[in-house]
Amino acid sequence: MLKLEKYAAIDIGSNAIRLLIETVIEKDERAARFKKTSLVRVPIRLGTDVFANGNISDTNYLRMVDTLNAYQLLMKTHNVVKYRACATSAMREAENGMEVSMKLFKETGIKIEIIDGFEEAEIIASTDIKEYLKTDKVFLYVDVGGGSTELTVIDRGETIATRSFKLGTVRLINNLVEDDVWLNMKNWIKTNTKNYHKISLLGTGGNINSVYKSSLIPYGKPLKSSYLKSFYKKIKSISYEDRIANHLLNPDRADVIVPALKIYLSAMKWSDAKKVYVPKIGLSDGIIRYLHKQSKKEKVS
């Protein structure tokens, strides 16, 4: 018997707020399949407020209200059975983060969970990324966001070390990262990867996904460091306007892609990695897997 249900994830990041709706397809005893039905992204840039001034501004609060009300309507028209909304770096650092969360619930009916970097990494790890870990490979998992970068060393599927750094693309384009943050990340990577002779990067985040898509490399195959260096050099050398006009990057992607690539390339250099695998998944995908898993547990009990 075929069963179709729609689940939704709202990811409130430092750069954008995303709504992902997926149809979960179940038939007989087969494993559930997840099919992307709708993805909407609104670049509100909460990080620009928070990392410079410590608070979410009234202007961005009102934009959040409009965005979440729109998402509420989209979920209703799609007949979404369950959703979860998670906020990351910007809202957890905002002095008024909890206050804004409560006000948004009253205005939109959407309850927001402000999660820490460790839980964020855990949610992402519950996705199809697990397929990459069922090997004898050693990975430095690097998730680059607008406000932070999450790093995890994974040896044959086992987490060896993990840490979150306040080093994100929105912080970098606003010159809000001190040199010692880079140094601390460098030392952490070198310390935690020095015992491995061969290591690859596992990269997630909107920017590395965009680079991977433009490379036309078959899905599942890695990007080589030489390609990433060449792409970085090229995109850095052209103007913001040319990145949009000639490379068809979204305006809110055209500025942050440069610092994002700098983070990935730095991680590759410090870990001596020569390849980066890009599973093209993120927090939203993990949220939906989590919701589906919880739903099945509830039905059993």
Q: Is residue 126 in some structural domain?
A: no
- Whether 165 and 271 map to the same domain: the answer is yes
- Whether 165 and 225 map to the same domain: the answer is yes
User: Domain total for the chain?
Assistant: 2
Q: Is residue 82 in some structural domain?
A: yes
Nearest residue to 87 (alpha-carbon basis) of 283, 279, 253, 281: 283
- Whether 86 and 210 map to the same domain: the answer is no
Q: What radius of gyration, in Å, describes the C-alpha atoms of the chain?
A: 19
* 147-184 residue pLDDT tens: 999 998 999 888 899 898 999 999 999 999 999 999 99
- Whether 11 and 95 map to the same domain: the answer is yes
Query: Taken in order 65, 66, 71, 76, is the CA torsion positive or negative?
Result: positive
Residue ranges making up the domain that contains 70: 2-118+284-300
- Whether 276 and 292 map to the same domain: the answer is no
Q: What is the C-alpha separation between 285 and 61, in angstroms, rounded?
A: 25
Q: Is residue 124 in some structural domain?
A: no
Neighbours of 190 (CB within 10 A): 12
For the record, the structure tokens of 124 come out as: 């992402």
Q: Is residue 95 in some structural domain?
A: yes
Helix extents (H) in 220-282 = 225-237, 240-245, 251-254, 257-271
Neighbours of 198 (CB within 10 A): 10
Q: Is residue 271 in some structural domain?
A: yes
- Whether 209 and 72 map to the same domain: the answer is no
Tens-binned pLDDT, residue by residue, of the chain (301 aa): 899 999 999 999 999 999 999 999 998 888 889 999 999 999 999 999 999 999 999 999 999 999 999 999 999 999 999 999 999 999 999 999 999 999 999 999 999 999 987 788 778 777 767 677 667 789 999 999 999 999 989 998 888 998 989 999 999 999 999 999 999 999 999 999 999 989 999 999 999 999 999 999 998 899 999 999 999 999 999 999 999 998 889 999 999 999 999 999 999 999 999 999 998 888 899 999 999 988 887 776 6
- Whether 240 and 209 map to the same domain: the answer is yes
Q: What is the C-alpha separation between 261 and 208, in angstroms, rounded?
A: 7
Domain of 228, CATH number, reads 3.30.420.150
Helix extents (H) in 94-142 = 97-108, 117-125, 130-133
Q: Is residue 123 in some structural domain?
A: no
Q: Is residue 125 in some structural domain?
A: no
**pTM recorded for the entire structure:** 0.90
- Whether 294 and 264 map to the same domain: the answer is no
- Whether 87 and 190 map to the same domain: the answer is no
